[in-house]
Structure 1
Amino acid sequence: MARGARTAALASALGLVLAGCSAGEGVDLAGAGEVDTEDYLEVAIAGEPDQLDPHSTSAYFSFQILENVYDTLVEPDAELEMQPALAESWEVSEDQLSWTFHLREGVTFHDGSAFTAEDVVYSYDRIIDEQLANAYRLAAVEDVVAVDEHTVRIDVSQPTPALLAAIGGYKGMAIVERGNVESGDVQLDPVGTGPFEVVGNAASTAVTLRANEDYWGEGPHVPGVVYRFISEGTTALADLTAGEVHWTDSIPPQRVESLRRNPDVEVASVPSTDYWYLTMNQARPPFDSRDARRAVAQALDREALAQVTWYGSATVNQTAVPETSVWYHEYAPFEQDLDRARELAESSGLTGRTVGLMVTNEHPETVTAAQVVAANLAEIGVATEIRTLDFATWLDEQARGNFDMLLLGWLGNVDVNDYYYNQHHSEGSNNAQGYSSPEVDRLLDAGRTETDPEARKELYDRAAERIVDDASYVYLYNPDVVQAWAPELEGYEPRPDRAVRFKDVRLEEGTG
């Protein structure tokens, strides 16, 4: 669901969503050549990657693959706590302005070249200097220095407690190889240090990975992975139950309960870090009025929205952060109240208008949700014209501010800053709705530099309340991560950040 004008947005939060990620558009990937995949893990994902450059893509389907190809300096564990990856350890200076990372020795890229501190410097400088999709994550970075071959220092302009989450939260911050980038091969034939390497691509059909025998960590335990692009969820499930694929997350929500009763399939769901929201363009009347936005917030039946889109696999929430997070703040001022919504609509000039609601057919749940929103607004005297666009057009229209209302989501959030700063700070790179509050700016700026966790949470709690009260976003719910796999696939666990990792899985002998 959404990460700004062509950033990691998703109409879901997953859409996103990955670390907030977008759906992306498929391109003709490199030719494959012959690869024996007889014993490979076969997985079905809902769409194809637009490219495989981790710094340039914002497509969730790309990151489902790249999660297993690249590494970051640190990475989140299942509880979203940052753990060593390419960096074995790190320390922060007393003034909190220098972070020193000690890198693993003996790590090589897939082409056999050595991983060194210069690769880290090049990767981060590339993101910053070229202002790529994730440059905002490094906004506080003043310099990245190779102290020696296996030591990197990152100097920041202010204390940055979220730095580990910024550089390790998802593979958009991966460490790349300079030659692979400068040759242009990175888009189709990426070279990383991860547990698998890309060895085959068939346009609009599949991407094939082979196990990296020189991987620095434990695993992988399967010889390779074939990602098949199956957009129709019923087809993916049919292939799963027929033994054609071992894993999928292309699951229609209405099929989840019946799937759980199938003894030949393992199904698991975990609360995600994603959130879904509706927002209104504050540059256009009547949504430049706080009362008009609050009328919409007061009119919505969130329980109905969650039910028709996720069939019980979502938790209603009026803030962004899910209740499973340490950053959760319970605040819900907008239970559906049609009488109050009508009063606000009347006083703000919203009553009697026809407003547009922009959704994307690449995330059908937004189209379904739009029907409920339209019905809710009709009850307060507001007509809704639903605009259903392909996702690329949706992103372009958002970037141009050509919308009244839109519905989408953000995926893969890790730190509390991910949920609020770029969406609601007046200078935020993804503040498409045009929200501006000096108080919220002050709180979010302070939260970015506060190193005491309790004090930091208080700042974001206060900012969240003001964001909700002003209806900058009208938050709806947090969906679950739902995935299914064959019983012979062992060692797989779904993650709240939707990172799909296969380095620890095994296939029982005799399957494939």
Structure 2
Amino acid sequence: MNKRTAFGAVTLVAALTLAGCSAGEGVDIDGAAGVEGDVLVAAIGGEPDQLDPHRTSSYFAFEVLENVFDTLVAPDENLEMQPALAESWEVSDDQLTWTFHLRDGVTFHDGSDFTSADVVYSYDRIIDEELANAWKFSAVTDVTAPDDETVVITVSQPTPNLLSNLGGFKGMAIVKKENVESGDITTAPIGTGPFSVASYTAGDRIELAANEDYWGGAPELAGVEFRFISEPATALAALRAGDIQWTDVVPTQQVSDLQGDDAVQLGLTPSSDYWYLALNEARVPWSDVRVRQAIAYAIDRDAIVQAVSYGTAALNQLAIPEQSVWYTSYDRYSTDLDTARGLLDEAGFTGGTLDLLATSDYPETVTAAQIIAANLEPLGIDVQIRQPDFSTWLDEQNSGNFDMLMMGWLGNIDPDDFYYSQHHTDGASNAQKYSNSEVDGLLDAARVEVDQDARKGLYAQAATIIADEASYIYLYNPSVIQVWSPQVSGYETRADRAIRFDDASIGD
């Protein structure tokens, strides 16, 4: 999901360093076609690990990069795919050939032309280098460019979720080959988006300049300055003081007060994200489904939700929230220590130590871990909480060095985006090593089912088994909580947490 690591001392060659410009101050950004206007200062919760959209898995990075890069198609506020770099497309009668027609006249930030070759390069890079989103191309057999303005994607089977795979921003941006091969993309990325990277001060901020030649129309803002502020109280104080104009680093305990505060604008939207626990099934005793189920019965989800979100999150024992068309009702697990003890007795488990991997970069994981430790203590389970930074957390997850971990999954659109990756035997994000042939079959079938009702039924069956067997112990769906100055207009929160400022402006 999110990744943050500390950079070494890195500063990008800037068109103009915006540091020192006061909030909303008019500036003239050299190298940005003389764009004049306001700079919106936004506080995000941490520093990106890098700025290569294909290699990062950091939400902090995506908050910035969503404004720098584009995808072939993009979700609207209802998470339905709309034209972006591709202005239209069609699918063959046998559902095996997708033809995309690209916009004319699109350029990269360095002034070079965007063509179909850039799309082919970007997708081939993800596939050939087996990057994090390579699984989204599992049905793709060929990506070709018959001419500069056309991309043809051939698939081996009907792929009803292809558009959502291409349009979900995380890792699917169209990049420039020379920018990648030079290595500059990690710190000085070049995209086609509404803003370009102007400067980067490690440990402090990233500054973007408006792209006056953006195909979607030049932004009204002259730029966006992303500051790294991890403390919610600090971010909110900066907003009230006028030092920043937007933040998603919001203390959940203050949401009720913010709702009645005319000095700020609160955006509170149900999200498609979910937070979960996963037990390492490659280790005994967590490989025993009864032990995993016992822990699912012992967890006090109500206490966790109240502690981490002050009631702003929605309890959910499956991944998909109630407002989604893919929602499935499920409520097997309640807090029941007697049932938990019975399951542990059946499994012959008499107690022991559990290594719970949380991360200091996401305080909600530490808070939840403390509650979970108290929940499991009556079962004779001694929970040892580790809380490294998220970069280390990822390394530990990927190497299987944990008994249980807590994390979230962001920006979900299509069920295949997460169920296959996380719960199929061959899933790229199946760190818990779950394997069930029936679930594999259901997820394989859902991938090619073009009838949405039938597809929903397949996912409902798979999701129920996944929860029954505690491949994940789902906890809750958080809300998207963002706050901005009343002077900011043209910005709204979204269920997929996409942060784009191309339509935003600052008034008097």
**SS of aligned partner of 2:385:** strand
The residue identity in structure 2 corresponding to 1:127 is I
Code of the aligned partner of 1:35: T
- How many percent identity over aligned positions? 57
For 1:35 and 1:386, the matched residues in 2 are separated by: 42
Does 2:152 correspond to 1:153? yes
Partner of 2:17: 35
1:26 aligns with 2:27: no
Partner SS, residue 358 of structure 2: strand
Residues 255 and 471 of structure 1: CA distance in aligned 2, closer, same or farther (over 3 Å): same
Matches within 5 A, 1:31-110: 31-33=12-14, 34-36=16-18, 37=21, 38=25, 39-110=38-109
Give the whole-Å Cα distance in 1 for the aligned partners of 2:349 and 2:363: 27
Contact 1:27 1:51 (8 Å CA) reproduced: no
**Mapped partners of 2:366, 2:172: distance in 1:** 32
- CA contact 1:27–1:49 (8 Å) conserved in 2: no
Q: Which residue of 1 aligns with 2:335?
A: 336
Q: Supply the distance in 1 between the matched residues of 2:5 and 2:324 (Cα, whole angstroms).
A: 28
Q: Distance in 1 between matches of 2:10 and 2:227?
A: 13
TM-score (norm 2): 0.94
1:171 to partner: Cα distance: 4.5
Between 241-250 and 283-292, report the one with greater CA deviation: 283-292
User: Which residue number in structure 2 is paired with residue 245 of structure 1?
Assistant: 244
Say if 1:89 and 1:231 are closer, same or farther in 2 by CA, change over 3 A: same
Q: Is the 8 A contact 1:144 1:152 kept in 2?
A: yes
TM-superposition CA deviations, 1:24-53 (whole Å, max 9, x none): 443443335443553311111111112111
Count of aligned positions = 490
Structure 1 counterpart of 2:70, which letter? D
- Mind listing any 5+ residue stretches in structure 1 that lack a counterpart? 1-8, 11-21
How is 1:203-222 mapped onto 2 (pairs within 5 angstroms)?
203-222=202-221
Alignment-mate amino acid for residue 425 of structure 2: S
Q: Which residue of 2 aligns with 1:408?
A: 407
Q: Is the 8 A contact 1:91 1:100 kept in 2?
A: yes
Q: Point out the more displaced range, 182-191 or 492-501.
A: 182-191
Q: Determine the structure 1 residue equivalent to 2:479.
A: 480
Q: Residues of 2 paired with 1:393 and 1:202: CA distance?
A: 23
- Three-state SS of the structure 1 residue aligned to 2:208 is strand
Report the Cα distance in structure 1 between the residues aligned to 2:336 and 2:323, rounded to whole angstroms.
27
Q: Could you tell me how far apart the structure 1 residues matched to 2:76 and 2:217 are?
A: 15
User: Secondary structure of 1:360's partner?
Assistant: coil
Deviations 1:431-471 (A, max 9, x none): 11111100000000111111110111101000001101111
Q: Deviations over 1:187-241 (max 9, x none)?
A: 1111111111111111111111111110111341111111111111111111100
Note if 1:228 corresponds to 2:227.
yes
**Structure 2 residue matching 1:445: 3-state secondary structure:** helix
Residues 1:390 and 1:35: Cα distance change in structure 2 (over 3 Å): closer
Match of 1:312 in 2: 311
Paired with 2:414 and 2:463, the residues of 1 have a C-alpha distance of 14
CA distance in 1 between counterparts of 2:211 and 2:275 reads 37
Q: Quote the residue 1:15 is aligned against.
A: none
Query: 1:153-192, aligned counterparts within 5 Å?
Result: 153-192=152-191
- In structure 1, C-alpha distance between the alignment counterparts of 2:105 and 2:406, rounded to whole Å: 47
Kindly indicate whether the alpha-carbon contact (under 8 Å) linking 2:410 and 2:496 is maintained by their aligned counterparts in 1. yes
| Residue in 2 that maps onto 1:499 | 498
2:383 paired with 1:377: no
Structure-2 separation of matches of 1:67 and 1:395: 22
Partner of 1:349: 348
C-alpha separation in 1, matches of 2:119 and 2:345: 56
What is the aligned-residue RMSD (CA, Å)?
1.3
Q: Which runs of 5+ in 2 are unaligned?
A: 26-37
Name the aligned partner's letter for residue 198 of structure 2. V
Task: Give the conservation status (yes or no) of the 8 Å contact 2:359–2:388.
Answer: yes
Q: Which residue of 1 aligns with 2:433?
A: 434
SS at match of 2:141: strand
Separation (CA, whole Å) in 1 of partners of 2:6 and 2:274: 22
Q: In 2, are the aligned partners of 1:96 and 1:158 still within 8 Å (CA)?
A: yes
- AA aligned opposite 2:298: A
1-structure distance, mates of 2:470, 2:107: 49
TM-aligned CA deviation for residue 391 of structure 1: 1.6
Amino acid at match of 2:17: V
2:286 pairs with 1:287: yes
Q: Deviations over 1:475-507 (max 9, x none)?
A: 010000100000000111011111101001110
Give the Cα separation in 2 of the matches to 1:29 and 1:160. 42
Larger RCO (CA under 8 A, 6+ residues apart): 1
**Paired position in structure 1 for 2:358:** 359
